[in-house]
Every structure is written in C-alpha cells, then in structure tokens.
Amino acid sequence: MEKQFDPARIETIAQGYWDSAETFRVTEDPDRPKYYCLSMLPYPSGKLHMKEVRNYTIGDVISRFQRMQGKNVLQPMGWDAFGLPAENAAIKRGVAPAGWTYENIAHMRRQLQRMGYGYDWQREVTTCSPDYYRWEQLMFTELFRKGLVYRAKSIVNWDPIDQTVLANEQVVDGRGWRSGAPVERREIPQWFVRITDYADELLEELDQLPGWPDAVKTMQRNWIGRSEGVELDFPLADEAGGALRVYTTRPDTLYGATYMAVAADHPVAIAAAEKNPELAAFLTEIRQGAVTEEALEKLEKKGMPLGVEAINPLSGERIPVWVANFVLMGYGTGAIMAVPAHDARDHEFATRYGLPIRQAVGPADGRAVDVQGEPWVAKDGLVTVAAGEFTGLDFPAAFNAIADHLEARGIGERRTNYRLRDWGVSRQRYWGCPIPMIHCPDCGAVPVPEAELPVTLPESVTFSGVQSPLKTDPDWRRAACPQCGGEAERETDTFDTFVESSWYYARYCCPDAEAILDRRADHWLPVDQYIGGIEHAVMHLLYFRFWHKLMRDQGLVASDEPATNLLCQGMVLAEAFYRDSEEGGREWIAPADVKIERDGRGRIMRATRCSDGAELTATGWTTMSKSKNNGEDPESLVDRFGADTVRLFTMFAAPPDQALEWQDSGVEGASRFLRRLYSLVHDHVSGGQVPAPAAAELDEAGTDLRRKLHQTIGKVGDDVGRRYTFNTAIAAIMELCNALGRYDVATDAARGLRQEVLEAVVLMLQPITPHLSHALWTRLGRDGAAVDQPWPVVDESALVQDEVELVVQVNGKLRGRIRMAADAAEDTIREAALADAHVQRFLEDLTIRRVIVVPGRLVNVVAG
C-alpha cells in the first residue's frame, strides 16, 4: 500500500472499476425492491455549479446507501436543455443556441463523471432532443383533443423599443434591460393548460404526502388558494344598463362597500375613456410597468373615477366606479367591490382619495372599533352591524343568509374560487419546444397529427435576439391544414421549459420507448426520493404533480403522485467582495483574487485585491452568483483536493435543508480527515496478518471502543437512512476515528478490533467518499468492491452497558453527577442523588418539595 494518499489516482481507478463492471446500470428486477432516487436535472449553463454538486452529492449518498440496503437503485441524470440563457449566449457570442447547449452538456457530463456519481448514463435524457420533445408534443395534442388545452389572451411584458416580449427577469425597475424603455403590459393570445380542473385534487392529495416537507405543502396550499365566496352583480346606474360582476369571500361586509374598482382593460373603463381624454391618458399610464404580482402589490395605489355609478344590490345605495392600477383583467372578473372598513388595500385607496369608509361588521363582544383610522379585518368573533335585515349575525350566518338572498333574487351565486390560474405554456421564444399546432383560416387551431410529429426546431439558425427565427422563416411557418388541406401556418410560439421538466422523471424509466412511456414506467414510479432546491417549492413541484395526474388520466401511469418523498436542499452561499470605482461603477472581485486580513478572532478586518492592493468591501454571506463573481468552481476544488473531499465537505458543512456557507478552510479540514483515515489504514495493514476478531478477549478500553463502534453504526444508519443529517453522520464517524486513534493496540484482540472498526468506517463512508472506500476496502484485505457490500450490522450485545451517568439538578440547575446501575430503581436513584455531597450543599436551608426522576437521564430536585 502506498504511504501517500493520492486522490487523483484512487479516483481514476475506482471510476474505471465502476465503468467496466457497469455497476450503476440497472434494469427492472422482480426479485429486489426498487428504489428510484431522482435529483432535479440541471440547466446546462456551461459549468457545474456548487449548488448542483450539493444536490447531486445528496442524491448519490442516498442512492449508494439504499444500494447497500439491498435495493435495486435507479439514479438517472439528464439536461433541462431549453431556455433563455442559450439565447442570451447566442446574442453575446454569435453562436447558435443549439451548438452552445450541446458543448455545455458535453463539458458538464464530464464534470459530473469526475465527481463519481453513480448514474445510469444509458438513461440520459436531453430535453432539446426531438427524441424527447416529440412525446411532449404528442401529449399536448392529446390534451387538446380532451379539451384540457385552450387559447386565451393574457398579459405579457412588452418592450416598445425592441418590439419584443420580455421575461420578468429582463425587466429591471419597470424598464427593458437592453432598451431601457418603460415596459408596457400587452395582451396576446396564448395557450393554456387547465390546471384549475385539477386544483381540488392537487390540494387534497397534499394530505397523502407525509414524505414531503410541511413548508412545501403549506406553500402549495396557499398558492392554490381555494376560497369559498359569492359572485354577484352590481347593476350599473347609467341608461345603458349592464352590471359589474365581482367575486368576494366576504359577503358579510357588502353593506360596507363604498366604491368599486375595475382594471384598466375592463370594458366599462374603456367605454368611459372614449369620451374622456384625461381618463384615456390615465389608462395608458397605468398599463405601464411590470406584470409580476410583486410589482403590482408594491405599486403606489392609483385610481381615477370613471364618472359611472353602480348600485349596491343589498342597500340600493349608489356608489362610484373607479379604475385602479392594482386591479388586473384576467385575475378574477377584473372588477372588485371595495370595503375599505375591512380590507387593508381598499382602506389605503379610500384614505388616499377621500372615499367614504363605512363599518359593516364589528367585534362580537360589542367593543367599539374605529375603522376610519385603520381597517378592522378580523373574520372570527364578528357580528354584522348596520346591515339592514342581516344585522346581528356572525360570519357563517351572515355569509349564508346573504348568499341565499342573492341566489334567490338571481343576482349572484356561491362559488369556489382558486388563486391558482391556468398554466400559460406559450413563450414567444426560439429556443424551446415548438407548440404542435397549425392555424388554419377556415378550421381554426388544429393539432399536428401524430404521424407528422415531431415538429422539429431548426437548429442551424442565426439568432439576433430581435425576433424568433421561427417567426421570420416563411418555409418553416408554412403548413397544410391537417383538417382541410388548405394553406395554413404553424404556431411559432414554443413551450414554457417547465413543460419539459414536468415529465422527464418518467421518461428516464424508459428512455428508448417508442411511445410517451411504456410499462417500465410503472415499475419504477413513483419516485422514492426526489431532491432539489427549495426555490422550486411551488411552481415546478406543482406542475410536476399536475403532469403526473394528466399522464395518469391518459393511462400512462398508474400512481396518483409522482414522488413519495421530497428533500429540499438549501442554497450555497459564499463571501463576496467589491469595489466602487468612479469610472466603472461597482466591480465584483473573485474571492480567489482577494487577500483577507483577519483579526485575532478570525473576523475579516481588511480585504484587498491581490493584483494591485486596492481596498475592497466584503459583503458577508450571500448567494453564489455570476453577477457577484463569487462562484466557487467545483472543478478546481476537485483538482486540488479530489472529488471525495469535495463530497465530504459539502455533506459535512451543514444539514442538507439549510443554507451552506462555503469556506475553503473547511475543505482543508475534510481533506485532513481523509488523509488521517488513509494513514490509519496504512499503519494498520503494514503490521501484517490480522487475527480474527475476538470480542471476548478485549479489555475495558476495547469493550468501550467496540460499544462506540456499534453505537456509531446504528447512529450513522439512522442519520443517513432516515434523518438525512449527513453532517451528524460524518461527525459520528470522525469521533469513532478519533477514539480509534487513541486506542492502544498491543494485543491480537486489539488488532482484530481495529480491523473491525476500520472495515465498518470504510463501509459507512462508502456513500459519501466512494473512491477512498473502494481503495481502502481492498487494502484491508477484503474481496469484492466496497460499493457492492451490505451496510454493516449492529451487534446488539456490544451495546450493553452496566452503569450509566445521571445528572442531578437542583431547581433545574446542574449540581452533580452520579453513576448508577443501568437498571437501578427510582428510589435508589433518588437516594443517591440526595446523598451527593455537592447536591446537599445547594439544599442547605431549603425544603425539598418534589424530586423528579427521569430514568437513564436525570434527577431534578425541586426545593424552596
């Protein structure tokens, strides 16, 4: 055995072994329980990111652990290859998005392989390949035929200078990122999938997912936002008649409605603006700005009266109709009834424009509230006041009485509403999956027949960024109508990339199927463990669940949910450094180019740039990102320390669901531990033939070490297999190694024990540092490969302990420790605790009132 630990050499040998033995290639096996471990597939941005290393190391640790439990493990990998960054790269460097993407995939695949992840590469899925997206096109046309897909108008960010639709991230402070022009909201026709048809099922089945984090389930519940309310008409008071339809969850507050507000695109607002130029200008003004909910909510509330009045259907009162910038057409009915006394946003608006605020409900205990100063929004413990015949009712009673009344008079009905909106899947972009529809002047929108799929995206194009090459290519656009054969046009929009990532996990099961999926899908599904970033808690994970149900209803899969367990890992943070220069604004300096001076306690005192000594400002911990130039390159760390060290550190630094603060010094600590273990094994095997373990011949120190070994096996199995706290598993292994290092090996029995400990350590580390374990397993003289060994078994007889230490508290404060037989009776424990000299000191002049004995843990003496 070489004295020096050489990670590069060890890693090459181990990876070569797994390759030639086809260790990670899996097929369906009826004799072994299956285990499907899935990590979210990466966008091929060019370089592997630290957050991906973290994600995939977690997945690989779980996969390798399950393999050691005897499971038939499927762990696939692929590429979420469509998306905006490829278009941006194309604009910046003048390369085609396809070529750029394929090069990135090749580079990143090699980076993943160097990390030693146990993927079955034969199942690799690349979403921009026609072999993949043709099946999603087929699925879409089938959904269209089932009526689950429709076309409707919706709002996009429109850049009036570049004449293009902008993504939300391309809107900076309400302006286009490149043109700088104020963004306008524009309505265009787009394709939608009816996710709201599945809203109830998506909501209710969250209760059947005990393996999903509560935080994610709560966020999804809130996102779906089911509410019970009433939809009703407020008749308009002008001669033309008509009515404003609104939805409210608070019909009990109807008597407090003092004005109405409509969206700028509402027909009533447009009609009113025709004869009012000032109003028309205002409508144009409030149509500007970004479309995100966040931007709308943070907006300064603005409005203008339309000169139109509506009639409160309960009180008969005439109230003014306003147009307001925070009401949007397409969200609900595009109109709201405003009850400023009981809604914060309505209150802010009413106060600003001097509109009346009238109380409709109040506390049931009769306490007076002043709604002029601030709204009273409670829904519990309320009673209606000044509400005509409905006065004096609590919330459920008022809700029902008013809803019955409205329904009886035919001006409204009860309605269940969702905050969730149907999924708009159209994108006005080139680098995406073409939407397989043909627009015929006579037949309308017609799906492309299955025999003509896939609708292939042309890959050799020049991409300028102004318009999609699909829209400017008349040959590509031209098509015969599948229905009437007449001249027609292809849809030039492409799919939201969330469509590809909604079903890739199922395609991994049968990547070569000549259909969307085949029978193999149900062998592997549902996914046993899904792992990905918390940032996907709502959108991706909801579409992922939704698409699974769509596939179920198409008869493609049998299960209701795609994944039984979900682990959301935290972000990866790093320190960032910048300097503000007069000429060039803020400049971010890579941490590798920064010289840091720390004070005696390790805090950063001063940071300077290595090249010129320029003074820099440190930001503290922040997300690793390109814009801050603080990304740690995993590959250079692998070059310096080896893949095992990088894997060990990312698992050790924090529990997986917490943010990980990246520190190079910590990486060195991980490397040091592996070197120490290597030399422990080296020293051990250089002593020659190892005798068989003989537990009975061990002295007290040996018995203690052996107990610690088996405690550790139990703890690590629980930490890795159930708790997913890899950091504590590693800490326990380190403790065991420290104990082994202190253990004096003078006898044959002791050498045998050392062999037993080292073998267990090597196997327990196999999921985390598989290359080193592969090497050391052989060095310890064992046959076979570490990756194929079963998880070590706890020897219950080694855990037995005759004596335990108990803590004695007086009034909750630690005052003494006593050693007792493990099975001592409560009375004996109480006596021993009270007899302890140190405890007695604190009981002088006090009367003992109670003694609490917690067996195996502590005694608390309550005295006063």
Instruction: Please tell me whether residue 810 adopts helix, strand or coil conformation.
Output: strand
> Tell me, what DSSP letter sits at residue 182?
B
Stretch that binds RNA, among 255-263, 382-390, 722-730, 760-768 (CB under 7 A): 722-730
Pick 145 or 857: Cβ nearer RNA: 857
Among candidates 145, 111, 24, 114, which has minimal Cα distance to 73? 24
For the segment 789-808, give every residue that binds RNA (CB under 7 A): 805, 807
Strands laid side by side in the 318-324 sheet: 303-311, 318-324, 259-262, 335-338
Pick 466 or 854: Cβ nearer RNA: 854
Pick 60 or 575: Cβ nearer RNA: 575
Stretch that binds RNA, among 111-119, 222-230, 407-415, 453-461 (CB under 7 A): 222-230
Q: How many CB atoms lie within 10 A of CB 212?
A: 22
The three state secondary structure string of 348-388 is HHHHHHCCCCCCCEEECCCCCCCCCCCCCCCCCCEEECCCH
Among candidates 661, 635, 716, which has minimal Cα distance to 53? 635
Pick 27 or 222: Cβ nearer RNA: 222
Binds RNA (CB under 7 A): choice among 46, 174, 811, 843: 811
For the segment 374-413, give every residue that binds RNA (CB under 7 A): none
Sign of CA dihedral 659, 663, 664, 668: negative
Q: Quote the least distance from Cβ 130 to RNA, whole Å.
A: 19
**Distance between CA 185 and CA 351 in Å, rounded?**
27
Binds RNA (CB under 7 A): choice among 149, 156, 203, 829: 156
Contact 361, 342 (CB under 8 A): yes
Residue 128 within binding range of RNA, rule CB under 7 A = no
- Tokens representing 630 are 């603080």
**Distance between CA 58 and CA 80 in Å, rounded?**
20
Stretch that binds RNA, among 14-22, 301-309, 396-404, 651-659 (CB under 7 A): 651-659
Pick 168 or 208: Cβ nearer RNA: 168
Q: Quote the least distance from Cβ 494 to RNA, whole Å.
A: 10
Residue 416 within binding range of RNA, rule CB under 7 A = no
For the segment 464-503, give every residue that binds RNA (CB under 7 A): 496-498, 501
**Distance between CA 759 and CA 742 in Å, rounded?**
18
For the segment 741-770, give every residue that binds RNA (CB under 7 A): 741-742
Stretch that binds RNA, among 236-244, 367-375, 415-423, 761-769 (CB under 7 A): 415-423
Binds RNA (CB under 7 A): choice among 458, 669, 721, 855: 669
For the segment 613-632, give every residue that binds RNA (CB under 7 A): 621-623
Binds RNA (CB under 7 A): choice among 3, 93, 298, 367: 298
For the segment 162-221, give every residue that binds RNA (CB under 7 A): 165-170, 188, 190, 214-215, 218-219
Q: Quote the least distance from Cβ 496 to RNA, whole Å.
A: 5
Quote the Cα angle for 685-691-692, to 5°. 120
Q: Is 272 exposed, middle or buried (0-12, 13-18, 19+ CB in 10 A)?
A: buried
Question: For 719-768, where are the alpha helices, taking DSSP H only?
Answer: 726-742, 748-765
Q: For the chain, what percentages of helix, strand and coil (3-state, to nearest 5) are there?
A: 40, 25, 35
Pick 139 or 734: Cβ nearer RNA: 734
Binds RNA (CB under 7 A): choice among 421, 586, 595, 626: 421
| Residues forming a β-bridge with 236 | 310
Residue 55 within binding range of RNA, rule CB under 7 A = no
Pick 275 or 298: Cβ nearer RNA: 298
Residue 43 within binding range of RNA, rule CB under 7 A = yes
Pick 21 or 822: Cβ nearer RNA: 822
Strands (E), 275-334: 303-311, 318-324
For the segment 571-590, give every residue that binds RNA (CB under 7 A): 571
Pick 114 or 429: Cβ nearer RNA: 429
Pick 616 or 730: Cβ nearer RNA: 730
Pick 72 or 104: Cβ nearer RNA: 104
**Distance between CA 752 and CA 187 in Å, rounded?**
77
**Distance between CA 264 and CA 286 in Å, rounded?**
7
Pick 83 or 511: Cβ nearer RNA: 83
Q: Quote the least distance from Cβ 64 to RNA, whole Å.
A: 21
Stretch that binds RNA, among 507-515, 754-762, 766-774, 811-819 (CB under 7 A): 811-819
Residue 85 within binding range of RNA, rule CB under 7 A = yes
Q: Quote the least distance from Cβ 339 to RNA, whole Å.
A: 16
Q: How far is CA 121 from CA 78, 657, 786, in A?
A: 9, 27, 21
Q: Is the peptide bond before 97 cis (omega within 30 degrees of 0)?
A: no
Binds RNA (CB under 7 A): choice among 427, 545, 549, 771: 427
Pick 312 or 725: Cβ nearer RNA: 725
Q: How many CB atoms lie within 10 A of CB 801?
A: 11
Q: Quote the least distance from Cβ 274 to RNA, whole Å.
A: 29
Residue 668 within binding range of RNA, rule CB under 7 A = yes
Binds RNA (CB under 7 A): choice among 666, 694, 697, 747: 666
Residue 848 within binding range of RNA, rule CB under 7 A = no
Q: What are phi and psi of 320, to 5 degrees?
A: -75, 150
Stretch that binds RNA, among 311-319, 509-517, 663-671, 794-802 (CB under 7 A): 663-671
Q: Quote the least distance from Cβ 268 to RNA, whole Å.
A: 24
Q: How far is CA 383 from CA 248, 368, 392, 404, 517, in A?
A: 18, 12, 6, 18, 57
Residue 850 within binding range of RNA, rule CB under 7 A = yes
Please spell the DSSP secondary structure of 1-40, one letter per residue.
--SS--HHHHHHHHHHHHHHHTTT-----TTS-EEEEEEP
Element (DSSP H or E) covering residue 96: none
Residue 602 within binding range of RNA, rule CB under 7 A = yes
Binds RNA (CB under 7 A): choice among 111, 467, 728, 778: 728
AA identity, residue 440: C
Q: Quote the least distance from Cβ 11 to RNA, whole Å.
A: 19
**Distance between CA 714 and CA 735 in Å, rounded?**
14
Q: Is the peptide bond before 526 cis (omega within 30 degrees of 0)?
A: yes
Region of residue 544 (phi > 0: left; psi between -120 and 50: alpha; otherwise: beta): alpha
Q: Quote the least distance from Cβ 457 to RNA, whole Å.
A: 14
| Size of site (CB under 7 A) for RNA | 108
Q: Quote the least distance from Cβ 334 to RNA, whole Å.
A: 15
Residue 3 within binding range of RNA, rule CB under 7 A = no
The residues, ordered by sequence, that sit 6+ positions from 45 with a Cβ below 8 Å of its Cβ are: 85, 104
Contact 255, 386 (CB under 8 A): yes
Q: Quote the least distance from Cβ 92 to RNA, whole Å.
A: 15
Q: Quote the least distance from Cβ 739 to RNA, whole Å.
A: 9
Pick 188 or 466: Cβ nearer RNA: 188
By rule CB under 7 A, what string of x and - marks binding of each residue 689-718 to RNA? --------------------------x--x
Quote the Cα angle for 846-847-851, to 5°. 110
**Distance between CA 303 and CA 319 in Å, rounded?**
15
Q: Quote the least distance from Cβ 90 to RNA, whole Å.
A: 13
Residue 146 within binding range of RNA, rule CB under 7 A = no
Q: Quote the least distance from Cβ 292 to RNA, whole Å.
A: 3
Q: Quote the least distance from Cβ 864 to RNA, whole Å.
A: 10
